[in-house]
């Protein structure tokens, strides 16, 4: 089950959930709690996404504790800009999977800021690097079962060299290239890459990767 929490500190140009950027999270979490319990016999995990779920530490702790008591795994999809929240959740044994979106090459703060629509890109990048370190260390210490970095691709958004740089900055960490889908967001000046175009980029990275496309779903590329 994926739970989308409202609000985000980024305003990514291709966000599929842009409608919940500015919305505040309801104070009453009972509806989410009931939904988790109602479905517990049919699911194995809860994944918190958004928006940016790490904006809501108290709610995350409450729901993750409930999920764990019901025997469910807990995952998190995040932009990586709140490493201290992830440290808390991992220390409390409330997180099993961590999935971090890398929005642009970390060596290019200007491009990062352009894509995420946020100021102080240098500060954001420092925090994202810290998040990656937290995930790497937690996976090595068996405090996480799964850790993955992800980048969403559109035609013309990145050069092949930029994609290769993003992927190979973190050679030892599982990485996925995802096909951006233009029907899912408001901006109209981006176009989709085909599955074959993404696979070609993955091969150029010269390391094992996952690619995820509408055409063939989730695939491994050696």
Q: Are 87 and 144 in contact (CB under 8 A)?
A: no
Query: SS3 for 191?
Result: strand
Reported as a pLDDT band with limits 50, 70 and 90, residue 51 is: confident
Question: Is the model's pLDDT at 14 over the cut of 90?
Answer: no
Q: Residue 51: is the preceding peptide bond cis (ω within 30°)? A: yes
pLDDT band at 24 (very low <50, low <70, confident <90, very high): low
pLDDT of residue 33: 87
Q: Is residue 160 pLDDT above 90, yes or no?
A: yes
Structure tokens at 56: 């809501």
Do the strands 2-5 and 73-78 form a parallel or antiparallel pair, or are they unpaired? Answer: unpaired
| Banded model confidence at residue 183, pLDDT cuts 50, 70, 90 | confident
Going from N- to C-terminal start, the domains of the chain cover: 2-221
Over residues 2-26, the mean pLDDT reads 81
Q: What confidence tier does 222 reach under pLDDT thresholds 50, 70, 90?
A: confident
First to last CA, the chain: 29
**Nearest 10 degrees: Cα torsion 218, 78, 23, 70:** 80
- More confident site: 95 or 124: 95
On the question of pLDDT at 218 being above 60, the answer is yes
Mean pLDDT of the chain: 91
What Å distances lie between residue 111 and 9, 93, 180, CA to CA? 17, 35, 18
Correct CATH for 2-221 of 3.40.50.2300, 3.40.720.10, 3.90.550.10, 3.20.20.70: 3.20.20.70
**Is 26 a residue whose pLDDT tops 90?**
no
What sign results for the dihedral spanned by CA atoms 63, 71, 136, 13? Answer: negative
């Amino acid at each position: 089950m994926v739970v989308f929490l409202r609000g985000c500190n980024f305003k990514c140009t291709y966000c599929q959930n842009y409608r919940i950027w500015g919305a505040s999270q309801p104070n009453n979490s009972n509806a989410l709690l009931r939904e988790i319990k109602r479905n517990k016999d049919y699911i194995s995990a809860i994944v918190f996404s958004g928006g940016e779920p790490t904006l809501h530490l108290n709610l995350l702790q409450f729901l993750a504790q409930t999920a764990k008591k019901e025997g469910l795994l807990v995952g998190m999809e995040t932009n990586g800009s709140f490493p201290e929240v992830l440290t808390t959740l991992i220390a409390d044994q409330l997180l099993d999977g961590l999935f971090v979106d890398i929005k642009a090459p970390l060596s290019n703060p200007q491009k990062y800021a352009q894509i995420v629509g946020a100021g102080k890109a240098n500060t954001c990048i420092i925090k994202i690097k810290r998040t990656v370190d937290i995930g790497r260390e937690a996976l090595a210490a068996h405090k996480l079962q799964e850790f993955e970095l992800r980048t969403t691709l559109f035609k013309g958004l990145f050069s092949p060299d930029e994609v290769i740089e993003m992927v190979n900055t973190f050679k030892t960490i599982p990485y996925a290239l995802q096909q951006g889908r233009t029907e899912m967001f408001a901006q109209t000046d981006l176009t989709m890459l085909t599955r074959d175009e993404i696979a070609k980029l993955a091969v150029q990275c010269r390391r094992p990767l996952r690619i995820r496309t509408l055409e063939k779903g989730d695939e491994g590329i050696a």
